[in-house]
Amino acid sequence: MPGVMATAADGLSRAPLQDEGVRTIYEKSQPGRRAFVAPPIDVPVRPLDELLPARLRRIEPARLPEVSEPEIVRHYVRLSKRNFDLDSGFYPLGSCTMKHNPRLHERIAALPGNARLHPLQDPRRAQGALELMWRLQAALSEIAGLPHVSLHPSAGSHGELAGVLLTRAYHEDRGEERTRILTPDTAHGTNPATVAMAGYEVVKVGTNEYGGVDVEDLRAKADQRTACLMLTNPNTLGLFDPRIEEIAEIVHGVGATLYYDGANLNAIMGKSRPGDMGFDIVHFNLHKSFTQPHGGGGPGAGPIAVSSEIEPYLPRPQVVRRCAGADGQEPFFDLDDDRPRSIGRLRGFQGNYGVFVRSYAYILSLGADGLQSASETAVLNANYLMARLTEVAGDYLPPAYERTCMHEFVLSGGSMRRQLGIRTLDLAKRLLDFGFHPPTVYFPLLVDEALLIEPTETESKETLDAFAEAIASILREAGEDPEIARGAPYTTPVRRLDEASAAKRPVLRQPRATPLGA
């Protein structure tokens, strides 16, 4: 039990992986060592110049690590063990939807027709892949409640950028120049960042006492300069905004678009549709709601669904189904580049195809009923965990808003800090010693010492109970000795990191390694 041995700060009970020095694969290199033996040449040897002219050849040999196969395997397996991942434990990182990735999806993504497809393959010879993409577009369209989908964007933030560029194209096409985009103060940081990147001015909208959009503030700020309101519903407090129709009316009343940040779609799949709420543009985080190993920087996918008014501006090419022609030709799938009002290409090739395969497999496995039940269970799990935590830790970590939550919820660590002298950061670090990934911390910013917890539907009651019990133990322990949490973690490959130095004096370059024995 890591929690027991974790109290020793003297290094006596460190996990074995802490003792492994961090050596790169280059530092493990030995001249001449190989992971394979090439077979003897059994064809006539031709001069190198004949095969590849000297001007195309590199002058110095590439500096590649020279290691044996077991060394390679151990190196990467060890690295993987130094990481915390969803396959090793509970990972309730709020707004990231760290749900289990079914292994079935990996089998399907690994089929040679999927895994070995070349991105430059002629569409005529990639009909299966294009059909999968076309069918995924149709499924996402149904889930969003909006008629058109583009699979181009490769991340949620990329989908946001696409959405803002579409908004601009839409306004410009009508001869309007709008300069401002509204985002609530609970928005994901990517919203204002996207707005700034696209050259718009960010205008913050406040939050009311129930955790929803301050509608009066919105009414005061929405005007002819407003291009768009970017909204997440349920928002990052895990709360559904019941005034969404009124909000949509205000936004459309000034001629602006309403953008749906799909980061929290896991709460409402098959229950309610952003299109029905009045949203014009929606992005999906396929890697969140529709399963995908993520959290290490990709690959992801952030498709967008849009209304008919926005459709002409969608990125190109679009995956389309061409109908049978007069020449008796069968219908076929194609990439349509003939889109004169399009905002253009957003990336090379057609997106992270492996992500599409896994998400499509997920949608087909679950079906409409299954997706609905996934969302219901995600909301149930979040409410159960919120109730459990209120029971065992409510004096120190009360919910920021006393409402039924959706798929995630926010606790405030303000009274924990005042009464026990430990901060949310200390609690988060200490959780690692109990084998749990910490929740999102210090976000949303409007909650003091915030903890944003998203358990997802794939966790069992036992796991949720164990997490609540771990939090209760940390609080009890802090009541006796707050130094334990302040010094955590103790059992991880690296201890508490110096975040300030990392930001002020970042080491951006690995010192050039000298091979052992050289």
Partner 1 sequence: MAEVTYPADLKYHPEHDWARVEGDVATFGITAYAEDQLGEVVFFDPPEVGTQVTKDESYAELESVKAVSDVIAPLSGEIVEVNEALAAEPEKVNEDPYGDGWLVRVRLSDPAELDALLEPPAYEELLAQES
Q: Which is nearer to partner 1, 326 or 500 (CB)?
A: 500
CA of 31: how far to CAs of 59, 65, 517, in Å?
A: 19, 9, 9
Provide the minimum distance between the beta carbon of 185 and partner 1 in the complex, in angstroms, as a whole number: 12
Radius of gyration of the chain from Cα atoms? 26
Strand, helix or coil for residue 260: strand
Provide the minimum distance between the beta carbon of 500 and partner 1 in the complex, in angstroms, as a whole number: 4
Q: Which is nearer to partner 1, 351 or 489 (CB)?
A: 489
Provide the minimum distance between the beta carbon of 503 and partner 1 in the complex, in angstroms, as a whole number: 4
8 Å CB contact between 182 and 340: no
Structure tokens at 459: 């966790």
Structure tokens at 140: 């996402």
Q: Which is nearer to partner 1, 334 or 448 (CB)?
A: 448
DSSP label of 324? P
Strand, helix or coil for residue 374: helix
367 φ/ψ sector (left φ>0, alpha ψ -120 to 50, else beta): left
Q: Which is nearer to partner 1, 166 or 450 (CB)?
A: 450
Distance CA 245, CA 421 (A): 43
Q: Which is nearer to partner 1, 324 or 445 (CB)?
A: 445
Distance CA 151, CA 355 (A): 11
108 CB-near residues (< 8 Å, 6+ apart): 114, 357, 358, 361
8 Å CB contact between 492 and 432: yes
Structure tokens at 427: 């609690």
Judged by the rule CB under 8 A, the positions of this chain that interact with partner 1 are 414, 418, 442, 445, 448, 499-500, 503-504
Q: How many helices (H) and strands (E) does the chain have?
A: 18, 12
Q: Which is nearer to partner 1, 122 or 498 (CB)?
A: 498
Provide the minimum distance between the beta carbon of 425 and partner 1 in the complex, in angstroms, as a whole number: 8
Provide the minimum distance between the beta carbon of 445 and partner 1 in the complex, in angstroms, as a whole number: 6
Provide the minimum distance between the beta carbon of 53 and partner 1 in the complex, in angstroms, as a whole number: 50
Provide the minimum distance between the beta carbon of 130 and partner 1 in the complex, in angstroms, as a whole number: 43
CA of 379: how far to CAs of 97, 234, 464, in Å?
A: 12, 11, 13
Provide the minimum distance between the beta carbon of 495 and partner 1 in the complex, in angstroms, as a whole number: 16
Provide the minimum distance between the beta carbon of 257 and partner 1 in the complex, in angstroms, as a whole number: 26
Distance CA 424, CA 411 (A): 10
Provide the minimum distance between the beta carbon of 418 and partner 1 in the complex, in angstroms, as a whole number: 8
Q: Which helix (H) or strand (E) holds 181?
A: strand 180-184
Q: Which is nearer to partner 1, 226 or 440 (CB)?
A: 440
The owner of tokens 């996207």 is: 194
Backbone angles phi and psi of 191, in degrees to 5:
-65, -60
Q: Which is nearer to partner 1, 505 or 512 (CB)?
A: 505
Angle, nearest 10°, between helix axes 353-393 and 461-480? 50
Alpha carbons within 13 A on the beta-carbon side of 26: 8
Q: Which is nearer to partner 1, 204 or 403 (CB)?
A: 204
Q: Which is nearer to partner 1, 303 or 444 (CB)?
A: 444
